[in-house]
Amino acid sequence: MKMKQFFLGVVALSVLPVVASQVEAAQPPLKEVKAAKGHVSTANTFNRLLEKSKARNLPPAEDGIHDPDNDNTHVLQPPKIAYDGLPTTPFGNYVDWVKALDTDLLQPRYDRFDPTIEPLIMDLDIVREVKSTVPDVVFPHKPHTQWLHCSNCHPKIFIPQRKANVMNMSGILLGQQCGVCHGKVAFPVTTQSCTKCHSKPKPADWKPPQSETSLKDPWR
Ligand code: HEC
Ligand code: HEC
Ligand code: HEC
């Protein structure tokens, strides 16, 4: 039995290139492929690596995140109604949540059961110097700890020690480091949001750091 499966597998593998080249030959002209794009399932529209929906803040049953077959999904307040009157941003779900909290428009609960629990707010900025011409990154603890307990980040996402963590844009865009939340539950990386994180301008006399090789051989 096992042998037969193995044999079938080998046959399938050797047939595959033939099938693939046939598929290639049978591909419809480019125009049709473009038209077919609209039929892609919307089940994964929450994934920012896929094409985004053009509509803003869809109701829960249509947002591709909540299950439309679950009756409770339809009980949830649609974002457009819930967010009415909150300060806006040009990206993400278009609400400036930090400003909304600072201006007392929201009173989040810090404990599911006990409404009297107060948040543990820490006002500590961490500057991460960036080795390229973009402004340096300031990680502000304050707006984070107004929403999140320390344990959301320490120690699993970040070791609580300045410069102890390796961070870069590729990791962030792939959903690591800051990208664990930014782009999912907090404002995303877009061409309009760079300066939210890259908020500290470089000193006027800033020069890109040079490698040991270029310091040794300055003529290079
Ligand atoms: C949203 C994520 C996040 C939350 C929540 C958070 N931190 Fe941090 N914390 C960081 C990051 C990022 C750094 C910088 C790490 C680095 O530079 O490599 C940091 C650094 C630190 C440091 C090192 C400071 C230094 O000077 O070396 C301490 C201590 C710390 N956090 C404590 C806390 C405490 C206490 C809380 C809760 C009140 C908290 N953090 C909440 C992300 C977070
Ligand atoms: C959520 C916060 C955040 C946003 C938004 C963001 N960055 Fe970054 N960026 C970082 C962090 C953190 C680093 C790593 C800094 C370090 O070296 O410690 C970084 C590093 C960089 C670097 C250095 C090279 C690299 O790839 O790591 C460049 C260039 C950069 N960002 C450009 C941008 C541009 C352009 C945008 C807007 C499209 C942007 N960033 C938006 C947080 C952010
Ligand atoms: C555990 C989740 C989480 C992580 C990890 C995280 N953030 Fe945030 N961040 C939030 C939330 C939630 C907010 C508040 C909501 C919003 O602004 O979208 C926020 C807000 C901010 C703000 C405030 C923007 C303002 O309007 O003042 C900055 C700046 C920021 N984050 C930068 C970073 C950087 C840089 C990193 C990585 C070093 C990072 N965050 C990691 C969840 C996170």
10-residue averages of pLDDT along the chain (220 residues) = 47 43 52 52 54 76 89 94 94 94 93 93 97 95 96 97 95 94 92 96 90 75
The pLDDT value given to residue 147: 94
- Report d(CA 65, CA 48) in Å as an integer: 12
Distance (Å) from CA 116 to ligand 2 centroid: 38
In this structure, are residues 64 and 42 in contact, taking their beta carbons and an 8 Å threshold? yes
The pLDDT value given to residue 13: 44
Long-range contacts, 157-163 (Cβ 8 Å, 24+)? 162/126, 163/128
CATH 3.90.10.10 for domain 88-203: yes
In short, whether 189's Cβ falls inside 6 Å of ligand 2 is yes
99 Cα nearest atom in ligand 3: 26
The pLDDT value given to residue 209: 83
Residue with CA nearest ligand 2 atom 40: 194
In which residue are the tokens 């999140």 written? Answer: 148
The pLDDT value given to residue 9: 46
Enter the pTM of the model: 0.83
The pLDDT value given to residue 40: 56
Choose one of 89, 169, 190, 191 to mutate for the ligand 2 pocket test, by most ligand atoms within 8 angstroms of C-beta: 169
- Report d(CA 142, CA 98) in Å as an integer: 10
The amino acid present at 135, given as its one-letter code, is P
The pLDDT value given to residue 63: 84
Residue with CA nearest ligand 3 atom 28: 197
Plot region of 66 (φ>0 → left; ψ -120 to 50 → alpha; else → beta): beta
Annotated domain spans of the chain = 41-82, 88-203
